[in-house]
Chains A and B, each alone.
Chain A
Amino acid sequence: MAEILLSEVEKYYLVMGVGQDVRVDGRSRSDYRQGDIDLNAVTNSHGSIRARLGETDVIVATKVDLGTPDPDRPDRGTIKFLVDCSPTASPDFEGRGGDELAEKICRILSIAYDKSGTIDLKNLCITPKKYCYVIDVDILVLQCGGNLIDVISMAVKLCLGICELPRVTGLRYDLGQGVPVFSTDEFEFDYLDVKNSPVVVTLPRVGRYFVVDASLEEESCSKGKLAFGVTPDGCVTSIDKLGRGCYQVKSIQAATAMASTVGANVNNTINMRIDSLRELKLRADPKPLSMPMDI
């Protein structure tokens, strides 16, 4: 990512402003920037979302496939994450340049989803030990305007919420092996229950305070960040320290309290948005009706 160069005076202004709870763009320390959501950014997926928050722009697409479960966990499906930093965000991301950042984000997401038990992966199992749903979540980072991990986690939650899992209508017996058969009807699908899945809230420390949704300038003035995975009821599922900086135990406690209230609010907004998007999908479906309307 390109380094933001700020003069000493600009840094002073920024840090002092944060201390007075008035940031450079007028927000308070716990305010998010305005964001938009676009559905169906990618056509050949089971669900895709383009999410923007300020200047950060991310496209997330999910694809559902049939696979075999992990031998250690035979009654669960799997969710795999792949992050791709496009060179449109910065020419440094070309080739191997963006891999480090991508791997970091991937790790945070997998820990938040696989190990915390907030999505019931048992729902993704079709036949224990043999067949399960494998959900591939692909994330493309188009622009990075600060607070990348948060936007990605929000977009992933939205995308998993509107992902259409094709329903299994039965088993086809092929030489004694039962292979699941999927329904070809567009309307026969299930949604994943993502009500309890976590959202990451990154809190960089600017001066003596933590800020929510930092822009690139604020991140460059910060001493390290704490990334919390927070569920809708305010529970913290993971904590990651990123960057350089050290904290006293009291600071971590204060940050945890802030992250848990902010994260709970974000989760509720996203849960409401998922419900409205699901309704929208049903209403706007252009599939032609088999019977004319005026009968």
Chain B
Amino acid sequence: MPRGKSNNKSNKKTKKEEVNKMTKLIPPAREPEVMDVDDTGGDETGGAAEEEEEEETQDFGPEFNPTHFQFLVEEKSEQFFEGQFQIGRPIRAAHNFLENPHGAVKLFQGDTCALCAVYGPTEIRMSKELPHRAAVDVLFRPKITGTSKQSQMTGWDSTLEERAIEAKLVGILESVLYLEDDMGAGFNIILHEFENDGCLFSTCINASALALLNAGCSMRCCFAGVTILVNETNNTLIVDPSQSQIDSGFDAMITFVLSNDGHVLFSSIQGRTKTNMIRLCLRQASEACKEIFVFQKQLQLQECSDFINGHSAVKPVNARGLKDEDIKVKLEDMKIDEDEENYEDLDDGEVSSSDS
């Protein structure tokens, strides 16, 4: 194959130099540990009180590859923060799930899992702009998308369910966020369902609350959502039921969204039950929500300490694992070609006379 320009040769020389540099400076390979994620799938009422744990961040060196390929490191990338709970299923949150969005959180309530990413306040499309306040747009993506044959046959359009969740959440957020502060801006809240083991809606609400806190959006209050199952025959209330408990029948399923200053932001009921049962449910819900608020506070403290200690989501991009002191580039070694001084304007798109 005919060689390109002399650039190719200089490329090869620097490659050899790099490999030599590499063999001296790379620290000896460490055995990467494989950690299993603590999978606590509690689905009974009053789930066992979880001890406050945090998974320690392990620092693995890059795998030493003789062909100077230092990527695909075996590292535990999701660090979960667990809270202490008496009521409801154990909750785990990974707060450094994604770096790009302003706020992102992956939340587990027992086995139900939802991811929430928040962009806001930010620019939005002209069609959605409002002149007097910011607009709120919620997008919910279920795990299985698309119209299945089943929905065509039964006539039940699952997309309506998705729109309903989005509309309910927009209503809640419009009363919580300070929208008049950012006119013409927009808040984009994106929810992804990863797993539905019951109470997906309340998981989504809690995930968006954490994501908004993570993004630092100004809110009038913190909010939390909880679902309660009422069974009048056994005279039982189940807080945060799992799918198997829901499937075994209920008289009513009530969802409450409460704020931490004692207000009710949202309530919905499916089924039928007596009014004093609803009052009981509300009392239980406020107890459960208090615990969730404590968890939110602890998670914020955890995020701050992670950020200060340097374990934040933004990881160093150094591909070779070298420290900055080790990369020494002397100014004399950097020779600037005479041609390069007149570099062509990047906007005009014409090919230079000496194309590489």
Residues of A whose CB lies within 8 Å of any CB of B are 11-12, 15-16, 19-22, 25-38, 42-44, 50, 52-55, 57, 84, 86-91, 94, 140, 142-145, 205, 207-209, 215, 221, 223, 244-248, 250-251, 253-254, 257-258, 265-266, 268-270, 273, 280, 284
Beta-carbon contact of B4 and A251 below 8 Å = yes
Question: Does B310 sit at the interface, judged by CB under 8 A?
Answer: no
Given contacts A32-B69, A43-B195, A140-B192, 19 further A-B contacts (CB under 8 A): A15-B343, A25-B317, A28-B14, A28-B18, A32-B319, A33-B71, A33-B319, A34-B71, A34-B73, A36-B72, A36-B75, A205-B356, A207-B343, A208-B352, A209-B356, A246-B351, A253-B4, A265-B69, A269-B72
Interface size class of B (residues with CB under 8 A): 35 or more
A-B contact pairs, 9 of them (CB 8 A): A11-B346, A32-B70, A32-B319, A37-B74, A43-B194, A215-B317, A258-B11, A284-B34, A284-B36
* Chain A residues in 8 Å Cβ range of B48: none
Number of A-B contacts (CB under 8 A): 164
Given contacts A33-B317, A37-B72, A38-B77, contact A44 B143 (CB under 8 A): yes
Say which residue of B78, B190, B336, B337 sits within 8 Å of A86 (CB atoms). Answer: B190
Tell me if A88 and B98 are in contact (CB < 8 A): yes
Which chain A residue has the least Cβ–Cβ distance from B343?
A15
- With A87-B139, A207-B343, A280-B34 already in contact, the answer to whether A244 and B349 are too (CB < 8 A) is yes
Q: How far is the CA of A214 from the CA of B175 in the complex (A)?
A: 42
Q: How far is the CB of A128 from chain B (nearest CB, A)?
A: 27
Bound: A84/B77 CA distance, A:
23
The minimal Cβ–Cβ distance linking A281 to chain B, given in whole angstroms, is 11
Is B24 an interface residue, CB under 8 A from the partner? no
User: For the complex, is B226 an interface residue (Cβ under 8 Å from A)?
Assistant: no
| Residue B15 CB within 8 A of the other chain | yes
Partner of A35 from B71, B122, B139 at Cβ < 8 Å: B71
Contacts of A245 in B (CB 8 A): 349
B139 touches A55 (CB 8 A): no
A269 contacts B343, CB within 8 Å? no
CA distance A86 to B36 in the complex (A): 27
User: What residues on A are CB-neighbors of B23 within 8 Å?
Assistant: none
A202 CA to B336 CA, complexed, in Å: 27
Interface of B, secondary structure class, is loop
CA distance A26 to B34 in the complex (A): 29
Q: A26-B322, A32-B71, A35-B73 are in contact. Are A91 and B351 (CB under 8 A)?
A: no
Do B99 and A35 touch (CB < 8 A)? no
Chain B residues with CB under 8 Å of A250's CB are 2, 4-5, 355
Do A36 and B67 contact each other (CB < 8 Å), given the known contacts A25-B317, A246-B351, A248-B351?
no
B204 within 8 A of A: no
Interface of chain B residues 317 through 356 with chain A (CB within 8 A): 317-322, 324, 327, 329, 334, 336-337, 340, 343, 346, 349, 351-352, 354-356
Cα A284 to Cα B141 with chains together (Å): 31
Kindly report which residue of chain B lies nearest to residue A88, judged by CB atoms.
B117
Inter-chain contact A26/B356, CB cutoff 8 Å: no
Task: For the complex, give the distance between the alpha carbons of A250 and B8 in Å.
Answer: 11
Q: Complex Cα distance A50/B340, Å?
A: 41
B310 shortest CB reach to chain A, Å: 16
CB distance from A14 to the nearest CB of B (A): 10
Cβ contact of A87, chosen from B188, B324, B334, B351, cutoff 8 A? B188
Chain B 1-40 interface 0/1 with A at a Cβ cutoff of 8 Å (1 = within)? 1101101100100110010000000000000001010000
Among A20, A25, A140, A258, point to the contact of B334 (Cβ < 8 A): A20
Residues of B within 8 A of A253 (CB): 1-2, 4
Which 3 residue pairs of A and B lie closest in terms of their CB atoms, listed nearest first?
A: A254-B4, A88-B117, A208-B356
Closest to A273 in B: B72
Q: Which residues of B contact A284 (CB under 8 A)?
A: 34, 36
With an 8 A cutoff between CB atoms, is B65 at the interface?
yes
Query: CB-nearest residue of chain B relative to A264?
Result: B67
- Which chain A positions have C-beta within 8 A of B68? 31
A residues less than 8 Å from B72 (CB atoms): 35-37, 269-270, 273
Docked complex Cα distance between A87 and B187 (Å): 12
Among candidates B7, B141, B322, B343, residue contacting A209 with C-beta atoms closer than 8 Å: B7
Task: State the Cβ distance, B110 to closest chain A Cβ, in Å.
Answer: 14
In the bound assembly, the distance between CA atoms of A31 and B319 in angstroms comes to 7
How many Å lie between the Cα of A5 and that of B119 in the bound state? 19
Q: How far is the CB of A111 from chain B (nearest CB, A)?
A: 24
Docked-complex contact A31 and B320, CB < 8 angstroms? yes
In the complex with contacts A15-B346, A16-B340, A34-B62, A269-B318 CB distance below 8 A: no
Counting CB contacts under 8 A, is B315 at the interface? yes
- How many angstroms between the C-alpha atoms of A270 and B69 in the bound complex? 11
**Chain A residues, Cβ within 8 Å of B321:** 34
Beyond A33-B317, A208-B356, A254-B8, is A88–B104 a contact (Cβ under 8 Å)?
Answer: yes
Which residues of B sit under 8 angstroms from A221, Cβ to Cβ? 346
A52 nearest CB neighbor, chain B only: B77
